[in-house]
Amino acid sequence: MLGISRRKKISYVVNLVIVILLYVVFTMLIRQGVVNSYYSDIINMMCINIIMAVSLNLVTGLLGQLVLGHAGFMLVGAYAAGLFTLHSGLPLPVAFPIALVLGGLVAALFGVIIGVPALRLKGDYLAIITLGFGEIIRVIANNLTITNGAKGLYGIDSLNSRHNLTAMFTYMFFIAVLAIFISFTFGTSRHGRAVISIREDEIAAEASGINTTYYKLLAFILAAFFAGVAGGLYAHQIGLIDPSKFDFNRSVEILVMVVLGGMGSITGSIISAGVLTVLPEALRGFSSYRMLLYSIVLICVMLFRPTGLLGRSEFSLMKTVDKIKGAVKGKKQDPASNKEG
C-alpha cells in the first residue's frame, strides 16, 4: 500500500494526464471534422451545465442548503458578460475572457446582496427566498432598456469561426475543469470542512467556534461566481439571452442534475449534468414522448435511489483500480465499481 501523500500525488498526476488527454482528443476530433458542430455544441452545453451543477453542488451538496434561484445568477452573469462584449469595443478575443470574469464578479456581487439576508433562513424557507430573488432578477431584466427587455439581448458573437472551431470549446473545457478542481480542493480544505460541519449540525458547528455566517456566505458566493461565468459562456455560445428562459424551471433543472447525481458528490453532478444534457438530444426522435420519459426516469431514480446515483461518495479512478485489484484477488466482482469503467 502506498502512503497517503504519495497516493494523492499520483492521483493528481493521473487526473491531470486524463484532463490533457481528453482535451487533446476532443480538439483533434473537432478539428478533423469527426465531431461536427452539432456534437461540439452539445459538448459545449454539457460543459456549461457541468459548471452550473458543480457550483450549485457547493451550496446544496456541501452546505446542505436548498437553493431554487441559481438560474438568476446565471442570468446576471450572462447579461454582464454579453453587455460588456457588445459595448466595450475591444476585439472579441480580448473582450471575451474579461467579459467572463466580469460576469462571474457581478454574479458574485449579487450573491453577497442576496446571501446576506437570505442565509439567515434555512431549509425550505431559504429555498423559497432564493426562488423569490431569482424571479425578481428575471422580472427586472425583462423591464430594463439596457437588457433590451423581453426581446432579449442578441448579436453577441461566438469565439468560434470557420478557421477556429475549438476556441469556445477550449474555454468551456478548462473553465469546467477549473470549477471541478476548485470544488474538490474547497471540499477537502479547512474551509470546506467547516462548511460540511455546518451541513451536519449547524448549532454544533457554531458552538465549536466556526463562524457559520461567514462560511455559508463563502460557499454561496463561490457558487454564484461560477454560475455567472457559466452565464457568460452561455451568452457567447448561443448569442442570445432570453430572460424568460432563466426562470424557476431552469433553476429546478440544475437542481435536478445535482440531486440525481448524488448531493455532495461532485463526480455525481458531473455525470448527471452530462447525461441530462445529452438525454433530450438523444430522445429527439421520440419528440412528444421525450418529456414524459424524462419525468418517469426522474421519479424512478428518486424512488429507488433517493440519495442520487452516487450518493455522497465520489467516483475515483484510484479507488476503482484498487477495487478491481481486490476483486480479482477475491475472485468476486463488485458491479458498482465497474459501471463507468
Partner 1 sequence: MDFFSQIINGLGIGSIYALVALGYSMVYGIVQLINFAHGDIIMVGAYVVFVILVMMNLPLWLAVLGSIIFCGLAGVVIERVAYHRLLVRDAPRISLLITAIGVSIFLQNLFQLLFGSDAKSMPKMFSFSPLQIGELQITSSTVLNILVSVVMMAGLQLMVSKMKIGKAMRATSEDAGAAKLMGINTNTTIAFTFGIGSALASAGAVLYCNTYPQIKPIMGGLLGLKAFVAAVLGGIGSIPGAMLGGYLLGVAESLTNAYISSNLTDAVVFGILIIVLLVKPAGLLGKNTREKV
Partner 2 sequence: MMKKRLLAAVLAAVMLSASATGCAQGGGNTDSGAAGSAAAAGETIKIGGLAPLTGNVSVYGIATNNGVKLAVDKINKAGGVLGKQIEYIAYDEKGDAIEAVNAYNKLVQDDKVVALVGDVTSKPTIAVAQKAVKDGLPMITATGTAADITKAGDNIFRACFIDPFQGELMAAYAAQKLGAKTAAIIYDNGDDYSTGVADAFEAAAKEAGMTITNKEAYQSGSVDFKSQLTKIKAGNPDVVMVPVYYSDVALIAVQAKDVGLSAKLLGADGWDGVLEKIDKSNLDAVKDCYFCSQYSAESSDPDLQAFLKTYKETYNTDANMFAVLGYDAMGMMVSAIEKAGSTDSDKIVEALKGIEYKGLTGNTTFDENRNPVREAVITTIADGKYKFVENFKK
Residue 197: is it exposed, middle or buried by C-beta count within 10 angstroms (0-12/13-18/19+)? middle
Alpha-carbon span 72 to 85, nearest angstrom = 20
Cβ at position 221, least distance to partner 2 in Å: 27
Looking at residue 73, its amino acid is: F
Asked if 291 touches partner 2 (CB under 8 A), the answer is yes
Binder among 145, 285, 329, 330 for partner 2 (CB under 8 A): 285
* Residue in 98, 105, 252, 278 binding partner 2, rule: CB under 8 A: 278
* Nearest to partner 2 of 124, 334 (CB atom): 334
Check binding of 32 to partner 2 (CB under 8 A).
Answer: no
H helical segments located in 119-247: 123-141, 167-188, 190-200, 202-207, 212-238
Query: Binding to partner 2 by residue 163, rule CB under 8 A?
Result: no
* Under rule CB under 8 A, residue 333 binds partner 2: no
- Smallest gap, in angstroms, from Cβ of residue 75 to partner 2? 13
Residues 8, 305, 319, 325: which binds partner 2 (CB under 8 A)?
305
Which of 133/186 has CB closer to partner 2?
A: 133
The Cα–Cα gap between 251 and 113 comes to: 19
Which part of the chain contacts partner 2 (CB under 8 A), choosing from 86-94, 155-163, 176-184, 211-219?
A: 155-163
Q: Which amino acid is at 311?
A: G
What is the maximal distance between C-alpha atoms in the chain?
68
Closer residue to partner 2 in complex, CB, 3/304: 304
Among residues 45 and 118, whose Cβ is nearest to partner 1?
118
- Tell me if 31 contacts partner 2 by CB under 8 A: no
330 phi and psi, to 5 degrees? -85, 5
Q: Which does 240 bind (CB under 5 to 8 A by kind): partner 2, partner 1, none?
A: partner 2
User: Which of 86, 122, 152, 212 contacts partner 2 by CB under 8 A?
Assistant: 152
Q: Is 309 in the site for partner 2 (CB under 8 A)?
A: yes
Q: What is the 3-state secondary structure (H, E, C) of 262-316?
A: CCCCHHHHHHHHHHHHHHHHHHHHHHHHHHHHHHHHHHHHHHHCCCCCCCCCCCC
Residues that bind partner 2 (rule: CB under 8 A) add up to a total of 54
Told to check if 52 binds partner 2 by CB under 8 A, we report no
Comparing CA positions, the residue from 262, 265, 276, 256 lying closest to residue 305 is: 262
Q: Are 44 and 168 in contact (CB under 8 A)?
A: yes
Instruction: Write out the three cell numbers for 191.
Output: 474551509
Using the structure block, give the residue that is written with the C-alpha cell 459562456.
233
Q: What is the nearest approach in angstroms of partner 1 to the Cβ of residue 250?
A: 13
The three-state DSSP-derived secondary structure of 5-66 is: HHHHHHHHHHHHHHHHHHHHHHHHHHHHCCCCHHHHHHHHHHHHHHHHHHHHHHHHHHCCCC
Count the alpha carbons within 13 Å of 94 in the hemisphere toward its beta carbon: 4
Residues of this chain that bind partner 1 (CB under 8 A): 60, 66, 117, 120-121, 124-125, 127-129, 131-133, 135-136, 139-140, 143, 203, 248, 252, 255-256, 259-260, 263, 288-289, 291-292, 294-296, 298-299, 302-303, 306-308
> Shortest distance, CB of residue 54 to partner 1, whole angstroms?
17
Q: Which residues bind partner 2 (CB under 8 A)?
A: 36-39, 41-42, 45, 139, 142-143, 149-152, 154-155, 161-162, 238-240, 242-245, 271, 275, 278-288, 290-291, 293, 297, 300-301, 304-305, 309-310, 334-336, 338-340
